[in-house]
Amino acid sequence: MDSWRAKAGTTLLSLLMVASLQLQAEAERTISAEELHDKVRGMWLGQLIGNAAGRETEGEYSGPTPNPNPVVPWVIKQQWDADDDTDTEYVALHIIETYGLDCNSLEIAGEWRTHTTASRIYIANKQAWYLMGDGYLPPDTGSRTYNKHWYAIDSQISTEVLGAVSPGLVQPAIDLAGKFARVTNTGFPVHASQFYAAIYAEAFFEPSVVTLVERGLRAVPVTSRTYQVITDVLEWYFEDVSDGMLDWRATRSRLYDKYQGANSHGRFYRWVESTVNTGATVIAILYGQGDFKETVQIGVLAGWDCDCNPATAGGLIGIVNGFSGLPPDLADPSICGDLYINVARPYLPDPDRGLPQYEAVSRIASCLTYFAQQNILDNGGYYTSDGVTRVYHVPDAGVVVPEPEMPDPNRPAGLVAQALAAGIAVTPTAAVQRYDADVDRDNLYSIIDGIIDNSYNGHKAYYSYVSDPKARPKRDWYQLDFSQPVKFEQVTFYEGDVVWHRINDYHKDDDSLGGFFEDLTVEVLRHGRWVEPAALQMTPALDRLKMYQTIAFDFPPIVGEAIRVIGTPGGARGFTTIMELEAQGQIDPGLYVADVRIAGGQTQRSHIGSIEIELSRDVSVSRDDVLLEEDALGAVPMSRFGFRYDPATRSLILLLSPTLPDGRYSVRLRCATITDATGLTLLDDDDDPADGTYTIRFHKLFGDVDGSATVDFRDMSFLAGHWLSFSAGTGLESNGDDVLNFLDLAPFTANWLSRPQPYP
């Protein structure tokens, strides 16, 4: 029986293997070792030629007009010196050679620190290098939190080679590119890296550049800014094709307008950013139509980072056409050398030698061929024959899964969303107010649009910068005004970016221009006064060295008409940035104290005849629910004040006759026993929300006309202005004769510069 089972199992396994090989044969693609080597050699040399062609004008043509020259001067060398894109790829190759394709962040960071110095390293690469020196690892080294140039081009010019070692393996290519891209960047620049890796991987088997770009889009999240710019360029290209006359300069103009110029919403950073350079590279690829010279020339003449872009585009066409298909007047060995000089990455390829070091381009191609073979085998492929006749069998690319989507919210979150849905108006205000919907930095309404993460969409944070130093606020704040009272329970401040000063200084050492708060708290507008909520807790603490912090403020529920975060702006120019201000709470605040009017709402505290406490709802309340206390002496006898409740105005009214002696007082309402018709109890949202009583504090001090709790020159000025005149409403009448005279002066001077006791 066991023998039968074994034979049956063996037969079934054999049948499954045959079926698997048949399916594999139907889906796989093949490439000879010789062709693979030719293509990766063409890639590396194509990058070098493209890079050298654009170095002279790098960054020069970054405005609305591209380089006006019809052609570029080719710079063909016998010895190819490395630049900041190929030499970073060179380090990546060493990491793969040392640790394999499954290398981890710790290994990547260790090799970066060993083989990279401050020389010839820039922008996001340089920030990542600094961060590794402080012990940070990828992806933190490329995150929005720590890398001030997370938006830049760095990752997409240093990971194309990962597509070159993934022939036909699109998913492994984008996964590998994503891992290395996060060393220096996050979000849409990572997606650009993955797009390039995908089209490099596809280029081994697909010669059409249009098809390559279309297939490359499968590797990019639809919600990414990278997807948007590539689809825009594709659409403009197809429109141009339908016109019958290709004009890459016109398409370049459209790219500028939408992603840098008038229609960009201010989302352009600078000429080394990812998006506009991705667009320029795709223009070069499409309009070059597979011709190496034309592709590289457009990449150079389009401008911006015009040595890196033609290097990427040239490397792609180098794969498509192979080294053998490069133009002879550029690649012929009689004029084009095979020597690659490493001038900036120490201990490579020989760990025991300094710089410079030399390596043949053809030898680099052999390494790439070997890594590609390993990748093919690791992903279910195989090879047949051996030596020069070896043929690689590559599984079909299959379904490509890009990074997770991150769709933009279509409305704000939390309390603002609830309020707007209920017809309650919400208006964002700030210490510095601009409401320009066409520019993110100047659109205050963007702080209630629900967008808290700009790593995909490229939105800029609002910022409070004012060019005139005299007009800059000493205290900066962002506020949400509601058209009717609401209950606040939490507020979250989503910080924006720190605006750096010197581009290549480490962010912790850079005297940044601004973008952050030195300190921060929350205030709620209630009864016409700004108050800090009780038991306020901030999590986490502000960190000057972190960008895009999410700061949550928790506190017991409190009712108000507005809420704000407020603090001291930081930086050399004293301003802050913000992505979003999100409040949590309830639009129906329930039963609460809506208003308090001491002495009829007057500021004067000389005479207090009444205290009116307006509630938000009609309530059941008795005299026993109200306690009047003097801070030093304790409870005021009930015989000293009258009590009534007016349901028409929902007001508790305390009538004081005669007036109270000078002192500091509290009216305490027992929250648990004051209820509305549904049984809802009074909200205790005062300074001590845990004691069960809503407390109203006030003082009485004869002579204190302005309510400042001190009898001083301002009160004297008021007295002088009404001297010997009718005294009604002044609060300075002391003897009942309705005229301010010397009889009223005596009690006034008796309180001169005094304060009601006890005084904290």
SS (H, E, C) 184-199: CCCCHHHHHHHHHHHH
Q: What is the 3-state secondary structure (H, E, C) of 20-79?
A: HHHHHHHHCEEEEHHHHHHHHHHHHHHHHHHHHHHHHHCCCCCCCCCCCCCCCCCCCCCE
Task: Using pLDDT thresholds of 50, 70 and 90, give the confidence band for residue 729.
Answer: low
- pTM for this prediction: 0.91
Which residues are bridge partners to 679 per DSSP? none
Give domain 414-586's CATH superfamily: Galactose-binding domain-like (2.60.120.260)
Give domain 24-394's CATH superfamily: ADP-ribosylation/Crystallin J1 (1.10.4080.10)
Which residues are bridge partners to 582 per DSSP? 492
- 593-700 CATH fold: Immunoglobulin-like (2.60.40)
Domain parsing of the chain, residue ranges: 24-394, 414-586, 593-700, 713-750
- Identical topology for domains 414-586 and 593-700: no
How confident is the model over 508-546, as pLDDT tens digits? 999 999 999 999 999 999 988 999 999 999 999 999 999
User: What is residue 418's predicted lDDT score, i.e. its pLDDT?
Assistant: 97
How confident is the model over 178-201, as pLDDT tens digits? 999 999 999 999 999 999 999 999
Tokens describing residue 331: 């690649």
Q: Say whether pLDDT at 456 is over 90.
A: yes
Max Cα–Cα distance, the chain, nearest Å: 125
Tokens describing residue 46: 């194509």
Q: Which of 26-40, 554-568, 573-587, 739-753 shows the lowest per-residue confidence on average (mean pLDDT)?
A: 739-753
Task: Using pLDDT thresholds of 50, 70 and 90, give the confidence band for residue 726.
Answer: low
Q: Say whether pLDDT at 758 is over 80.
A: no
Task: Using pLDDT thresholds of 50, 70 and 90, give the confidence band for residue 735.
Answer: confident
Could you give the CA distance from residue 306 to residue 322 in angstroms, rounded to a whole number? Answer: 23
